[in-house]
Chain A
Amino acid sequence: MSDRFSGKAWVYGDNVDTDVIIPARYLSTSNPAELAPHCLEDLDSGFMKKMEPGDLIVAGGNFGCGSSREHAPLAIKGAGVSCVIAVSFARIFFRNALNIGLPILECPEAVSGIESGQRVEVDLAEGRILNLDTGKAFSAKPFPPFLRDLVARGGLVPAVRARLEERRRNAR
């Protein structure tokens, strides 16, 4: 995905937990294509019918609280959601999203300034969020350098691969 994209926003409240993002009854697979049809099923059963690939989820505080299931960001990514903008993220979900390459931004001002159905443009590299319907722009909280580097390298898998290679070289 490019660093710049736009889509319709779907707005939810605080404490959207991983059980409503992807209920445990679907956890006998970790295939994003099989998880996606059930994304947000227990929070908003109409979500998958109304959303289009590229749309965004906008939510309150503590998004992704609860279970460590990586299936939650996988289901959201599999559904074609381009980005989750929230007031804050629960810590395990935060790590999981970065690890699997689901774009997330922390920006309380944007969450207050976006309503469901409005079109939003995101420049991920700059952390800029633009409400295309109102013209209002917002800046997301930048990640610390270590995490920016992790994301730039493509997530944890390439980072671990590089670290393993470094160790093999040193062992020789």
Chain B
Amino acid sequence: MARTLAEALIASHTTDRAEPGSICRVRVDFAFANDITGAPAIEEFSRMGAERVFDPKRCAIVPDHFTPNKDIASARQVQAARRFAREQGMLFWEVGRAGVEHAFLPEKGLILPGEVILGADSHTCTGGALGAFATGVGSTDLAGAWALGETWFRVPETIRVEVEGKPSPWVTGKDLILSLIGMIGVEGARYAALEFGGEGIAALPMDDRFTVANMAVEAGAKAGLFVPDDRTIDYATARAARPFEAAYPDPGASYARTVRIDAGKLEPVVALPHLPSNVKPAKECESLELDQVFIGSCTNGRLRDLELAAAVLKNRTVHERVRLVVIPATVEVFAEAMKRGFIETFIEAGASVSTATCGPCLGGHYGILAPGERCLSTSNRNFVGRMGHAGSEVLLAGPLVAAASAVTGRVTDPRELFGVDAFPKGGEGE
């Protein structure tokens, strides 16, 4: 039977029949938690009667959410995680040597094409950009995977997303995924796998693919998968921490449905409060004034994102009413952004730049909102109270819209600052 990518990935990790709807016991290649989900996973691991993790080189904790420790309770959670990781000999990195898990782990070659990855964090689906079946679970499921090196999956149906045509340089991976979520809704892919393909995907840089895969869960998806191509294999080969073998869908695989997107017609968008599916063209929202702009997170804190933001902010200043918070997603991104002058650009523009961590994305620290405040963020969720008080608002957008909006102090289509034909110097990319 011709298989979708999701079916091929699960089939290569199970002896059960991997057909949509069937439940399989699946081997796990890598299993990780963060400082918030790690603490309960450690407790459950011990309640399971487990003593050692299945393979310490394939188990990790990335302390990224409330680090650098924001208060005593958070410090204790990280302390428990650190202690457990040391006892088990598993992977653990201190703040300042890591970053946001979903940006950091692929960088370290710990999430690879053809693999099955389990993470105690919903944005684990980011790994789908590499053609890995990467999916989020809770702490108990993760503890089970640490103990056994396996988990159970219901094999998902697959929705194929065909991206036709090429996007304009003003359209980023964020605009693509927000537009898709706007089309299919926040439960449009519930329990399903998204499989991205087509001409518009071939042209998409890796960093943008991570952005797209990252938000698959905001459409309810179990995974957001990219079929590996030369870009994928080059990225993975340069970084791989272990051997890997990519998996591919079969020709003629059967999809639950196909969604077609004409990339040529996409434009810079924002998701208005309080759902990621509440998507509007940025130029239709220009009356919305902002108090804060956040550029960072596992969605849009990578080098390409900072490159685009810096291209917009070069020789400009952040609006006097606006706080701009920039948090590179990993230390590697931070260091490279310094070398290339992006960090200098941000500081000269009047931004606050911080060490690699999740920051205000989930309302942890580094930029919490007061009642009535409005933040435009490059992160992935705009739920009620997501970044602070329940009476605050979050809008989602890509790095170009975010940087342009920081300059004007209101939601801004970047073409308004530059003119359609004058893409900012330094933002051309590859």
B176 part of interface (Cβ distance < 8 Å)? no
Nearest A residue (CB) for B24:
A146
Nearest B residue (CB) for A30:
B40
Contacts of B50 in A (CB 8 A): 160, 164
Interface 9-residue window, one of A15-23, A110-118, A130-138? A15-23
A25 part of interface (Cβ distance < 8 Å)? yes
Chain B's interface size range is 35 or more
Binary interface encoding of chain A residues 1-31 relative to chain B, with 1 for a CB under 8 A from any of its CBs, else 0: 0000000000000010101100111011110
Binary interface encoding of chain A residues 24-60 relative to chain B, with 1 for a CB under 8 A from any of its CBs, else 0: 1101111000000000011101000000000000000
Nearest Cβ distance between residue A155 and chain B, in whole angstroms?
8
A70 part of interface (Cβ distance < 8 Å)? yes
A168 to B187, CA, bound (A): 42
Q: Are A68 and B121 in contact (CB under 8 A)?
A: yes
A124 part of interface (Cβ distance < 8 Å)? no
Contacts of A65 in B (CB 8 A): 186-187, 220
Q: Are B186 and A15 in contact (CB under 8 A)?
A: yes
Chain A's interface size range is 35 or more
Chain B residues 376 to 422 lying within 8 A of chain A, measured CB to CB, are 381, 383-386, 390
A119 part of interface (Cβ distance < 8 Å)? no
Contacts of A66 in B (CB 8 A): 122, 381, 383
A68 to B143, CA, bound (A): 14
Q: Are A70 and B71 in contact (CB under 8 A)?
A: no
Contacts of B220 in A (CB 8 A): 62, 65, 90-91
Binary interface encoding of chain B residues 65-80 relative to chain A, with 1 for a CB under 8 A from any of its CBs, else 0: 1100001011011000
A96 to B141, CA, bound (A): 8
Contacts of A146 in B (CB 8 A): 23, 152
Interface 9-residue window, one of B7-15, B132-140, B195-203, B257-265? B132-140
Question: Which of A41, A88, A160 counts the most B-chain CB atoms under 10 A from its CB?
Answer: A160
A92 part of interface (Cβ distance < 8 Å)? yes
Nearest A residue (CB) for B72:
A28
Q: Are A30 and B137 in contact (CB under 8 A)?
A: no
Nearest B residue (CB) for A25:
B363
Nearest Cβ distance between residue A25 and chain B, in whole angstroms?
6
Nearest B residue (CB) for A17:
B383
B49 part of interface (Cβ distance < 8 Å)? yes
Q: Are A28 and B190 in contact (CB under 8 A)?
A: no
Contacts of A17 in B (CB 8 A): 381, 383-384
A61 part of interface (Cβ distance < 8 Å)? yes
Chain B residues 72 to 131 lying within 8 A of chain A, measured CB to CB, are 73-74, 76-77, 120-122, 124
A74 to B139, CA, bound (A): 11
Q: Are A20 and B147 in contact (CB under 8 A)?
A: no
A23 to B50, CA, bound (A): 31
Chain A residues 63 to 94 lying within 8 A of chain B, measured CB to CB, are 65-71, 74, 88, 90-92
B160 part of interface (Cβ distance < 8 Å)? no
Asked whether A27 and B36 contact (CB < 8 A) given A91-B220, A156-B144, the answer is: yes
Nearest Cβ distance between residue B143 and chain A, in whole angstroms?
8
Contacts of B187 in A (CB 8 A): 15, 61-62, 65, 88, 90
Asked whether A24 and B362 contact (CB < 8 A) given A30-B39, A69-B138, A160-B48, the answer is: yes
Selected from B43, B66, B141, B363, the residue in CB contact (under 8 A) with A99 is B141
Residues of B within 8 A of A (CB): 23, 36-37, 39-40, 43-44, 47-50, 65-66, 71, 73-74, 76-77, 120-122, 124, 136-141, 143-144, 147-148, 152, 154, 186-187, 190-191, 220, 222, 275, 362-364, 381, 383-386, 390
A to B CB contacts below 8 Å, 30 in the list = A17-B381, A17-B384, A23-B390, A24-B36, A24-B386, A28-B71, A29-B73, A30-B39, A45-B390, A62-B186, A62-B190, A65-B187, A67-B121, A67-B381, A68-B37, A68-B120, A68-B122, A70-B40, A71-B36, A90-B187, A91-B220, A92-B122, A99-B138, A99-B141, A144-B23, A144-B154, A146-B152, A155-B140, A156-B141, A157-B44
The 3 nearest A-B residue pairs measured at CB:
A28-B73, A96-B138, A70-B138
